[in-house]
């Protein structure tokens, strides 16, 4: 670790890094650092996002503890200030500007510094220690905030989801002040939702956990062939467990190696050809080992889905065949040799069906009629829109985002920072938007790696009106209309709200159309089909938001929209440079929807793309 200060306390010979961080948590050293005006050069343990999450949790804990509301509000405000400031946490700390930031006093500055540098905070740990760990599961229930949880805990002693469920079923909760019968029913629905969510993880988390497992299995000397299977291979948006398949002449060796991997926490089952484990991160994983001639059939079967497998078995029966996870056989027991998955489909007079399409919907009909779509590939995008910078709630500058886009091989990048109604995200007013456009013009004149397109993510207000005037939006190269508040409208009201926005001449597409946050928040009620029809009628686009928490519009809705002549645009909703790479998950959505590159606007070269953009505007 580099040490660029001459102060003897921070000499590499004086202390190990862990000792330095322990000392940094003391008030004496904090004051000494403040006296120097900047923090010595060292890596931060926690990044800004993690510190913000802890500050927000402290605010919740203070509410649970019944502390003065002003105290908890101070932590909430500090979290919001950090979220909306353009500078990184390291820049704020090392420049000495953190304590001078409005909303962050000396006490909060000390706690933020301690968290960032040491990764821990005694005050936070003591607060958490006042409550049973299971109590925090109650806060995951939608619309059950800290005050209601405190009432449940202090009045009824409820500490867990199980206890809360039993109390609801016994009709005890409805008798509490501020609850009632409808709240009791919503709590029961919320408990079910929390349990469903707890059993699944987002696609990137599963992918990250699966990769080292797959590499270990596939590189083992006893392995002949190996593949990921299940919902991960089909690129579903959330994953329950990780399925691996291998072929081998020595299955026992492979099973032993798999169960002995360092990522494995618990072995829940182990036989001669199958092992089930739970990983250190809590995700379950299975490895099945088959003979090599069985591998194609097992791969097809364990990739699924169940619905697809049912259709495949039914198709096999029309030819007098029997298909299972081990073989494809004739009625007389003769085995049809298939060297790979493609051969299985060909034997059933079907075109090959990519794993993403195997959901038991349209794929067999397509394959029978030689109409399986040619799907978009991961390298097909030429640029992207709907990206944020430090001007609103992003973490990178305009130049940094452009450089990252260029590194991905993009030709263009659309910046769409938040509008003024999104005050919590440091949204831009008309003056700041104009200043950003001037900055973009300067950048484009200098000839950077990509062309930056001027845009805005403009809030759709409750009545469907937009946060910027129409003449401003028409000056943009593109404009994203998004709902960020007032989700609790009726389906009819929300549908009309979105249709009103998409009918605006200045809007190019709706951002994250249904407002869902996977494993966190259900979509708001909206008639998606009507909104898609309005999108097509007005010559606008549909966004596939690639943020792994959103993946919105959902692939099922995109599948239904694909034949309506609407163009799609795959965008990362990136708030930092790393977020640009999330477009690969948007491509997964497009592939599951059967979309080819021609259906995706941003597979076009720069000039063609700009011409398409103009067609979304009047005249």
To which CATH superfamily is domain 201-290 assigned? Beta Polymerase, domain 2 (3.30.460.10)
Residues spanned by CATH 3.20.20.140 within the chain?
383-615
CATH architecture of 383-615: Alpha-Beta Barrel (3.20)
Taking the CA atoms of 114, 120, 125 and 126 in sequence, report the sign of the dihedral they define.
negative
Query: Do the beta carbons of residue 299 and residue 245 sit within 8 Å?
Result: yes
> Where does 8-128 sit in CATH, by number?
1.10.150.110
Query: How confident is the model at residue 226, as a pLDDT?
Result: 98
Residues of the chain with CATH 1.10.150.110: 8-128
Quickly state the pLDDT bin for 85 (edges 50, 70, 90). Answer: confident
Residue 589 has pLDDT above 50, yes or no: yes
Ranges of CATH 3.30.210.10 domains, the chain: 303-368
Q: In the predicted model, is pLDDT for residue 18 greater than 70? A: no
Please give the pLDDT value at position 166.
95
CATH 3.40.50.880 is the classification of domain 131-198: no
Return all residues near 14 (Cβ < 8 A) that are at least 6 apart.
Answer: 8
CATH 3.30.460.10 residue spans of the chain: 201-290
Judge contact between 226 and 260, C-beta under 8 A: no
* CA 604 – CA 48 distance, rounded (Å): 36
Alpha-carbon span 574 to 231, nearest angstrom? 25
| Rama region for 520: left / alpha / beta (φ>0; ψ in -120 to 50; rest) | alpha
Q: Are the C-beta atoms of residues 571 and 396 closer than 8 Å to each other?
A: no
Taking only the tens place, the pLDDT of each residue in 285-326 is 999 999 999 999 999 999 999 999 999 999 999 999 999 999
pLDDT band at 101 (very low <50, low <70, confident <90, very high): confident
Quickly count: other Cβ atoms within 10 Å of residue 87's Cβ: 16
Average the pLDDT over 357-365 and give the result: 97
Give the pTM.
Answer: 0.82
Which token pair is 23?
């000392």
Reply yes or no on domain 303-368 having CATH 3.30.210.10. Answer: yes
Percent of the chain with pLDDT over 90: 71
Least confident of 86-95, 135-144, 535-544, 601-610: 86-95
């Amino acid at each position: 670790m580099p040490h660029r200060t001459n102060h003897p306390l921070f000499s590499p010979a004086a202390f190990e890094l862990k000792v330095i961080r322990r000392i940094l948590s003391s008030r004496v050293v904090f004051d000494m650092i403040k006296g120097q005006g900047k923090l010595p050069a060292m890596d931060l343990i926690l990044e800004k996002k993690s510190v913000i999450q802890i500050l927000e949790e402290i605010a919740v804990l203070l509410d649970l503890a019944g502390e003065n509301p002003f105290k908890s509000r101070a932590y909430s405000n500090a979290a919001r200030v950090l979220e909306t400031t353009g500078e990184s946490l390291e820049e704020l700390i090392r420049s000495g500007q953190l304590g001078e930031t409005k909303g962050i006093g000396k006490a909060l500055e000390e706690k933020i510094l301690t968290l960032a540098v040491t990764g821990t905070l005694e005050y936070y740990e003591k607060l958490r220690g006042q409550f049973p760990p299971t109590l925090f599961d109650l806060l995951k229930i939608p619309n059950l905030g800290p005050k209601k949880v405190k009432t449940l805990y202090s009045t009824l002693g409820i500490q867990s989801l199980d206890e809360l469920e039993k109390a609801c079923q016994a009709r005890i909760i409805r008798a509490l002040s501020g609850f009632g019968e409808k709240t009791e029913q919503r709590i029961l629905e919320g408990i079910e939702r929390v349990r469903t969510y707890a059993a699944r993880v987002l696609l990137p988390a599963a992918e990250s956990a699966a990769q080292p497992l797959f590499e270990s299995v596939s590189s083992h000397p006893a392995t002949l062939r190996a593949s990921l299977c299940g919902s991960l291979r089909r690129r579903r948006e959330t994953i329950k467990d990780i399925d691996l398949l291998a072929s081998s002449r020595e299955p026992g060796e492979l099973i032993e190696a798999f169960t002995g991997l360092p990522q494995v926490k618990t072995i829940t089952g182990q036989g001669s050809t199958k092992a089930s484990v739970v990983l250190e991160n809590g995700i379950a994983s299975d490895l099945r080992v088959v003979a090599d001639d069985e591998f194609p059939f097992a791969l097809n079967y364990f990739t699924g889905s169940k619905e697809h497998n049912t259709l495949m078995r039914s198709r096999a029966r029309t030819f007098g065949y029997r298909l299972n996870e081990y073989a494809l056989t004739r009625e007389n027991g003769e085995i049809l040799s298939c060297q790979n998955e493609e051969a299985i489909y060909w034997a059933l007079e079907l075109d090959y069906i990519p794993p993403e399409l195997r959901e038991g919907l349209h794929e067999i009909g397509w394959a029978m009629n030689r109409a399986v779509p040619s799907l978009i590939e991961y390298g097909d995008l030429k640029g992207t829109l709907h990206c944020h910078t430090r001007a609103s709630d992003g973490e990178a500058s305009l130049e940094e985002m452009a450089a990252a886009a260029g590194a991905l091989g993009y030709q263009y990048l659309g910046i769409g920072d938040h509008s003024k109604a999104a005050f919590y995200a440091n949204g831009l007013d008309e003056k700041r938007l104009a200043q950003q456009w001037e900055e973009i013009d300067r950048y484009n004149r200098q000839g950077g790696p990509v062309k930056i397109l001027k845009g805005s993510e403009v809030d759709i207000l409750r009545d469907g009106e937009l946060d910027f005037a129409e003449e401003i939006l028409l000056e943009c190269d593109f404009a994203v209309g998004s709902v960020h508040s007032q989700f609790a409208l009726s389906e009819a009201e929300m549908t009309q709200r979105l249709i009103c926005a998409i009918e605006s001449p200045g809007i190019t597409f709706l951002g994250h159309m249904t407002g869902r946050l996977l494993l966190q928040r259900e979509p708001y009620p909206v008639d998606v089909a009507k909104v898609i029809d309005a999108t097509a009628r007005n010559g606008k686009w549909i966004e596939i938001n690639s943020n792994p928490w959103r993946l919105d519009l959902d692939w099922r809705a995109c599948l239904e929209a694909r034949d309506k002549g609407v163009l799609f645009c795959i965008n990362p909703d990136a708030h930092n440079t790393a977020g640009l790479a999330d477009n690969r998950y948007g491509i997964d959505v497009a592939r599951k929807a059967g979309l080819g590159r021609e259906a995706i606007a941003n597979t076009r070269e720069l000039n063609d793309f700009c011409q398409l953009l103009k067609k979304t505007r009047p005249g």
